[in-house]
Amino acid sequence: MRPTCNVATLIERFFTERLMRQRNVSGNTIASYRDTFRLLFMFAQVRLRKSPSALTLADLDATFIGAFLTDLEVKRGASAKTRNLRLTAIRSFFRFVSFEEPAHSALIRRVLAIPSKRHDKRQVHFLTRPEIEAVLAAPDRTTWLGRRDHTLLLVAAQTGLRLSELTGLDRDAVHLGSGAHVRCVGKGRKERTTPLTTLARCALQAWLKEPLRKGATALFPNVHGGRLSADSVQSLLGKHVRVAHKSCPSLKAKSVSPHVLRHSAAMELLQAGVDCSVIALWLGHESVETTQAYLHAHLALKEAALAKLKPYERGKRTRFQPNDRLLAFLETL
């Protein structure tokens, strides 16, 4: 193994050649991978006392990568899901390195063998129809900001767009004629079209008549004409949810984020009897399996299924009696 194999050169080629030129990945992917390696190199400076440009491939062995992942969870408070996301970026880099530096194949195999961490999958959180209506009624529509916020939240709750898709909408992405819809570019840079309800169409029609802020092209700009950031949308949503608490007390027990509005749109479709495959297309899911999470969260559907079951007959339950020492041991676990 050549200890002089410099990581800086490999990282530069990984981003410029593999990710940007060969795979042409999205800006979001580039940003996520960049953040992963920034954290990794900061960890290396503390643990190995070496600057990032001085690191060799031998420094990034499986033991070091494992310590970095543990540090993310223990010291930085990262969830298992975030830990796995960072590991995905590292694996992608080492798969690239396996072709560039085959002499280091043993080290690379050990890093690639680091498993993802299992974690609990939380139930999908969503808002009921009265809660959605309370949030939509909260903005003060006598002001420009209030009208913007109301229209933004209405479009979010009806279309189920992701936050990045919502803030990335331009004015020309809205079609208000026959078959009113919005066009967006989602994950994997896949373009999709989402239809609008009459209410959303009317709200957008009125919103597009508002005077432009400093020549803004964004559908929902900030006061300076630029695009809203993710933090700005979360902040304005939180403000209106706090106002909505007064008329809808059930909101106090819920943590409402822009993604909860996306879940709420999916649950509205599910309650209306729309098939999961159609909902997957509506939300831009890669697989219908992702959409199955809404079925698990829909208590009314489960209760309806339970009502169709024939109840058990009353009788004495027979307890399993192991006839082997090993089986008896397993019963204690």
Integer Cα distance of 282 and 274 in angstroms: 10
Q: CA-based Rg of the chain, rounded to a whole angstrom? A: 26
Residue found by looking up tokens 């990568």 in the block: 65
Which of the residues are catalytic? 162, 187, 259, 262, 285, 294
In whole angstroms, give the CA distance from residue 9 to residue 292: 43
Closest by CA to 10, choosing from 60, 70, 78, is 60
Provide the 3-class DSSP secondary structure of residue 24: coil
Q: Which residue do the tokens 């189920």 mark?
A: 160
Residue 81: partners with Cβ closer than 8 Å, 6 or more residues away: 119
Vertex 129 angle, CA 124 and 133, to 5°: 120
